[in-house]
Structure 1
Amino acid sequence: MTIYFYKVWQPYGCFSNFSPHCIEIDGTHWPTVEHYYQAQKFVGSPDAVIIPFIHAASTPEEAAALGRCSNYQIRPDWDLVKITVMRAAVFKKFMTHPEIRQILLVTGDEMLVEDSPRDYFWGCGLDKSGENNLGKILMSVRTEIRQMISYSVISRKELSP
């Protein structure tokens, strides 16, 4: 069974980048993954001055709007690094918040799909033909967390007298 997610208030809403789960990366506290992700678009760009405004945005929707504003120039390597940036933030979110990490792990091996009707890159799009990169990242993070847990259990057993 495929698990679809999109809005924060819907089932599996914690998988959304807009969910109210803060992260800390490189010593900076970000209110949501969306805040972090949108700000990273401008690191090293001529319009990096927008980063503090994205960081201070009162909602993830506001952070997204600032990050998507075509008046600002994003970093030239953005298309090359955006998946890596997103994966780091998603991983950090699920490692920081045990209650949602458990929800992710309980999904087993189910396919996770961001059910965005407009986003064909991060989600599946209206006709479900999108790339679903956020869902792929979540499934990858789920696998990595499982491996970490498995390694931790094995290590503890090996260290026991």
Structure 2
Amino acid sequence: MAIYFYSTREEYGCFSNFSAHGFELDGVYWPTSEHYFQAQKFVGTPHVEQIRQVKTPKDAATMGRDRTRPLRPDWNDVKDDIMRQAVLRKFETHADIREVLVSTGDEPIVENSPIDYYWGCGADGSGKNMLGQVLMETREILRDRT
């Protein structure tokens, strides 16, 4: 049976990039994996720090999607690996949610986003579910370490 998540208030809310599980990466502290992911779109510019410092992951997402900011030219080539890095560090940092992720066994994990057909499954389930894929890869890495 697949495990669906979307809202941080649900049972598997810790799988969301909006969950309040901060971590250190690239020598600085990130409040959420959403902050880190969105900021990486603008590496080498002041936008990185602006996004890192905003109060909520929703604000970070809004800023990251703002196309008046200069999106790095290689973004489509690097975004999956950046997400992998952020998600792995988040679960490495927090033992409680690491346990939740590993406890899902071999169940498929699906970001039940009605609007995102890349990171989520989309409204009709036809999306790529890349965040779910990244979480399942992370689960394997963490399980192999124990």
Normalized against structure 2, the TM-score is what? 0.98
Secondary structure in structure 2 of the residue aligned to 1:134: helix
Secondary structure in structure 2 of the residue aligned to 1:24: strand
1:159 corresponds to which residue? none
The counterpart of 2:110, out of the listed 96, 113, 128, is 113
Q: Distance in 1 between matches of 2:90 and 2:69?
A: 27
1:34 corresponds to which residue? 34
The counterpart of 1:76, out of the listed 73, 77, 86, is 73
Which residue identity lines up with residue 28 of structure 1 in the other structure? V
Structure 1 residue 27: deviation in Å?
1.1
Q: Distance in 2 between matches of 1:115 and 1:124?
A: 6
Q: Distance in 1 between matches of 2:116 and 2:132?
A: 12
Secondary structure in structure 2 of the residue aligned to 1:117: coil
Greater Rg by CA: 1
1:10 corresponds to which residue? 10
Q: Distance in 1 between matches of 2:10 and 2:26?
A: 31
Segments ≥4 residues shifted beyond 2 Å: none
The share of aligned pairs that are identical, in percent, is 53
Q: Distance in 2 between matches of 1:104 and 1:8?
A: 14
Secondary structure in structure 1 of the residue aligned to 2:110: strand
Secondary structure in structure 2 of the residue aligned to 1:113: strand
1:143 corresponds to which residue? 140
Structure 1 residue 39: deviation in Å?
0.3
Q: Distance in 1 between matches of 2:17 and 2:52?
A: 14
Q: Distance in 2 between matches of 1:92 and 1:121?
A: 21
Does residue 81 of structure 2 align to residue 53 of structure 1?
A: no
Secondary structure in structure 2 of the residue aligned to 1:35: helix
The Cα RMSD (Å) is 0.6
Alignment gaps of 5+ in structure 2: none
Q: Distance in 2 between matches of 1:87 and 1:24?
A: 15
Q: Deviations over 1:14-37 (max 9, x none)?
A: 000000000111211000000000
Q: Deviations over 1:23-55 (max 9, x none)?
A: 1112110000000000000013xxx22111101
The counterpart of 2:121, out of the listed 119, 124, 141, is 124
Which residue identity lines up with residue 32 of structure 1 in the other structure? T
